[in-house]
Amino acid sequence: MNKNSNTYTFLYATALVVVVATALSLTATGLKSRQQKNIEVEKKQNILLSVNKAGALDSVPDRNAYIEELYRRYIVEEYLVDADGHRKEGDAFAMNMKTQYDIIREINAAGVTDEEKLALRGKLSLPVFVCRNDDSTLKYIVPVYGLGLWGAIWGYVSLDDDFNTVYGAIFDHKGETPGLGAEIAFPKFFKQFEGKQLFKEGQFTSIRIVKGGAPAGDRHGVNAISGGTITSRGVEEMLKNCLTEYKPFFGQQERFKESKN
């Protein structure tokens, strides 16, 4: 065939496109499982970080294997609970908290009737992860999800077995401003939550993010991020909206403990 002909040029270009497209497709397919595994490991790491595990990883030769080992060691249960706090069928780890957040937003939307709220709560499937520390104490980890200034924010909150006192927390974001709202992902912010309490005199209050700083000794408030007012408010609303839906579960566990004593 004449290499200078239009036909040759067309066939050559077509063959080249097919080869490149096939190579890209095979590469994407090969990387997909690896990418999914990295997402799973990152999620496990965040769950562990909420109970102060999986911190210093710089000296670990195989980060993924190390996190997997820690997860098997410390996370002893994973399950879903319904709006009444009872266990239900399903995969807690695979549950996308954004779908639960969307339901919660509908529940809290203006004009929703009590009947509609009841139907929406029937769709809730809330994940719970249980950590057993080396001293055999149990910590209960729940995911939270909300909106910051520029997009999604999320995290994990761990509680002591009084289902009131925060043991640890970790937050992350999709696109908050560096040096401002993005500070929610740094220990200086989320370490403040340790020891804070969700209930005051038996009433659920969640945790306030206080602009200008929480008063010394405040068991229910932490300092807001300077210059990150909207993101701070987003964290506060995220905690209140998500943790409110876990209240029946917290109550169920408390009643169970009392029945054993």
Could you tell me if 54 and 70 are in contact, meaning their C-beta atoms sit under 8 angstroms apart?
yes
68 located within any domain: no
Average pLDDT over residues 201-227: 94
pTM: 0.84
150 located within any domain: yes
- Residues near 34 by Cβ (< 8 Å), separated by ≥ 6? none
Domain count for the chain? 1
- How far is 243 from 45, CA to CA, in rounded Å? 21
**What is the Cα 74 distance to its own chain's centre?**
18
Tens digit of pLDDT for each residue in 30-89?
Answer: 556 677 888 999 999 999 999 999 877 777 888 899 999 999 999 999 999 999 999 999
| Residue-range definition of the domain harbouring residue 148 | 75-260
Percentage of residues of the chain with pLDDT beyond 70: 84
185 located within any domain: yes
Average pLDDT over residues 187-203: 94
112 located within any domain: yes
